[in-house]
Structure 1
Amino acid sequence: MQYPQFFDTIEKIVLYDDLSQFLGVNDGILDFSYADIVKSAGHSCATVAGAYLMALEGLKALYGAELPQRGYIKVELAKEPTVENTGAVGCVLSNITGATTDYGFGGIPTGKYNRRGTLFYGVAMDADVCFTRLDTNEKVYVSYTPQKVVNPMAILKSAIMPDAKEEDIKSFPHRFQEMVKTVFENKDAVISVKKGS
């Protein structure tokens, strides 16, 4: 798959998934690149970038030097899936953490490896997302504010409005991905993480 070169500069998210090891896929170590998430989302935008960064920084804060345990992380989102692009954020976070509502893997006959009932929308909190370790109940709250550094709607409007200039339409794909690149380059400005109880 062809993609902008800056994708390769973005830190990967590495987790351990015991289901993967149990089923003989590998040793359980899984790594997700931003390009992997773009493939599953079908596009790269400020929302997908933000979801990736919230997972990257949130899991770092939650697990420290340990590998995050995929399938044992509860994910809660403040907004309902149909509000703005929260559903797209939830899909990205589900791909990375393994958390699902009622549609995920239900586990083997013993009940182990169940992924259902670990992803929730519309949860009251002063953050965009909360990640909870199911083994320790430790939590981190993560918020994403891309408007601190970019204005995705302004770039989009420059290419779709009836009076859009031809040069703006032609340059839109490059300008749009440069905007995504700016989000990643300023992750400390757009992502905030707070540990909770």
Structure 2
Amino acid sequence: MKFPAFFDQVPTLRVRDALAAFLGAADDGLLEYGYADAVKLAGHSCPTVASAYVLGCRALTALYPDSLPERGGVRLAFASRLEEGVTGVTASVLTLLTGAAQDGGFKGIGGRFARRGLQDFGHELPLSVRVTRTDTGAAVDVASDLSHVPAHPDTMLLLGRCVRGEADEAERQRFAALWQDRVARVLLQHWDDDAVFSVRAAD
């Protein structure tokens, strides 16, 4: 398995998962996630997967400024409906990082460690997603604006040719390279760019 080299340059996220500790899946429940984990979950690397990964990492870091984030310790509310746009993809990546799941998630053990029902959709929110700690109630609102990271002008032309089966091998490779170049710019050049990623304390 070989990923683009820039994957290794993307910041990782370390969390503590009480369920992983309880079941002996990881020493002290310590887990570390990288961008490649989000790609393996989604099955592809795109600006949506990249932006969801950044938002998840930045939201958890903001909510747990003095300690490791507690995976399974937050609730997610989305402004969009689950079936709308790329909400489902974003929700899946955020589940990976936060542990917060939809109705099919883990139901818990003896009233503890439940992950089910920690995602809700179709809320009135100032931004795209609200992430709330279940222990303290502290919350942040987050959103991304990828218009500040435009694709190369040739990308959509090449995408059309690839989809229609008109592209030759060189064009297919160039399309893939341009596609991942934008993903790399999102992750490496704009991680802390507040014009691209809004992360602010909820009112």
Q: Deviations over 1:31-61 (max 9, x none)?
A: 1000011111101000000000000111111
Q: What is the identity percentage for the equivalent residue pairs of Structure 1 and Structure 2?
A: 36
Aligned residue in 2 for 1:81: 82
- Which of residues 150, 171, 176 is equivalent to 1:173? 176
Within the alignment, does 1:135 sit opposite 2:139 as a pair? no
Within the alignment, does 1:106 sit opposite 2:110 as a pair? no
How far the C-alpha of 1:165 sits from its partner, in A, is 5.9
Aligned residue in 1 for 2:186: 183
What is the letter of the counterpart of residue 19 of structure 2?
L
Q: Deviations over 1:66-88 (max 9, x none)?
A: 11111110011111121111100
Q: Deviations over 1:75-107 (max 9, x none)?
A: 111111211111000000011111112101101
SS at match of 1:169: helix
Number of residues of Structure 1 aligned to a counterpart in Structure 2: 196
With over 3 angstroms needed to count, the CA separation of the structure-2 counterparts of 1:120 and 1:152, relative to structure 1, is farther
With over 3 angstroms needed to count, the CA separation of the structure-2 counterparts of 1:163 and 1:112, relative to structure 1, is closer
Gapped runs of 5+ residues in structure 2? Answer: none
TM-score (normalised: structure 1) = 0.93
- Which of residues 187, 192, 196 is equivalent to 2:198? 192
Question: Given that residues 76 and 129 in structure 2 are in contact (C-alpha distance below 8 angstroms), is that contact kept between their aligned partners in structure 1?
Answer: yes
Aligned residue in 2 for 1:115: 115
Distance 1:50 1:152 in 2: 18
SS at match of 2:63: helix
How far the C-alpha of 1:65 sits from its partner, in A, is 2.3
Distance 2:150 2:32 in 1: 28
With over 3 angstroms needed to count, the CA separation of the structure-2 counterparts of 1:182 and 1:19, relative to structure 1, is same
Gapped runs of 5+ residues in structure 1? Answer: none
SS at match of 2:90: helix
SS at match of 1:80: coil
Question: Given that residues 71 and 97 in structure 2 are in contact (C-alpha distance below 8 angstroms), is that contact kept between their aligned partners in structure 1?
Answer: yes
Distance 2:198 2:54 in 1: 10
Question: Given that residues 151 and 179 in structure 2 are in contact (C-alpha distance below 8 angstroms), is that contact kept between their aligned partners in structure 1?
Answer: no
TM-score (normalised: structure 2) = 0.90
Question: Given that residues 57 and 97 in structure 2 are in contact (C-alpha distance below 8 angstroms), is that contact kept between their aligned partners in structure 1?
Answer: no
Question: Given that residues 152 and 178 in structure 2 are in contact (C-alpha distance below 8 angstroms), is that contact kept between their aligned partners in structure 1?
Answer: no
Aligned residue in 2 for 1:71: 72
SS at match of 1:76: strand
Aligned residue in 2 for 1:93: 94
